[in-house]
Amino acid sequence: MNLKGRVAIVTGAASGIGRGIALALGRAGASVVCADIDPLGLTEVAAELHALGLRSLAVRTDVSKASEVTAMVEQVLRDFGTVDVLVNDAAYLGFSREHKPFLETDEAEWDLHINVTLKGTLHCCKAVVPSMVAQKRGRIINITSDAAKAMAPRGEALYSAVKSAVAAFSRTLAGELARHHVLVNCVAPGFIITPTVLKTRRPEWREKVEAMIPLRSAGDPEDIAGMVVFLASDEAKHITGQHYSVNGGTLML
């Protein structure tokens, strides 16, 4: 799949799934704009893209703040002239720190999930869509979760709530933008080995989860990135409003 000449923005690009997506889009030929709140991680990803001989830009961005998102997109349009692909991967992963039931959460935690995961996606779409509509072309790919499709594990009530909201928003946005040839789809990762997982989950827990996956192994960021590259490509020109799981068969619908 060839994305040469395309410009892609990836939020949450400093590590994990976002990093894998940014590198995969770059390898497919796209110019990649990496947005994240982690400046060190951004520098490292930008260096990797540069080493591949690719044009890239790293912009520290807090997606929960509309002003920062707007400034980032304006910079991209000035420097690159277009935005062809938007991948909303940035999310608040509060459950990765401590699994606790909903009744033990407070409003401050609710706000973190809503502001980063849901409003961050809304901010980015609102900033990017006008230019996509004007050029009659665009791809928006929102990273959700299988937690938006089925009952999530204990401690993920807030996470599943906002990911479900992103999925519902994506379907409606796909309907609104179809006549402008702006396609909107979701990719839902299953159990993916990322730096966060390695830091917060014991090996025996990971082994137990992998034993429940029909393919008997966890995925990696490249598995998610492959689906994203496909949805960003011309091969997916007749696909919109869909929600794809990449989970090794854990959830089959």
Report yes or no: 200 and 96 within 8 Å, Cβ to Cβ.
yes
| Residue 79, number of CB atoms within 10 A of its CB | 13
- Of 26, 91, 132, 159, which is the active-site residue? 159
As a whole number of angstroms, the distance between CA 84 and CA 194 comes to 27
Known active-site residue 92: no
Buried residues in 204-215 as b, exposed as e (16+ CB within 10 A): eeeeeeeeebee
Kindly tell me the number of DSSP H helices and DSSP E strands found in the chain.
Answer: 9, 7
> What span, in angstroms and rounded, lies between the C-alpha atoms of 110 and 42?
27
Strand order in the sheet with 182-189: 56-60, 31-36, 7-11, 85-88, 138-143, 182-189, 243-246
Alpha-carbon gap, residue 9 to 131, rounded angstroms = 13
The structure tokens listed for 73 are 């997109």
144 pairs with which residues across the strands?
A: none
d(CA 144, CA 121): 11
Active site residues: 159
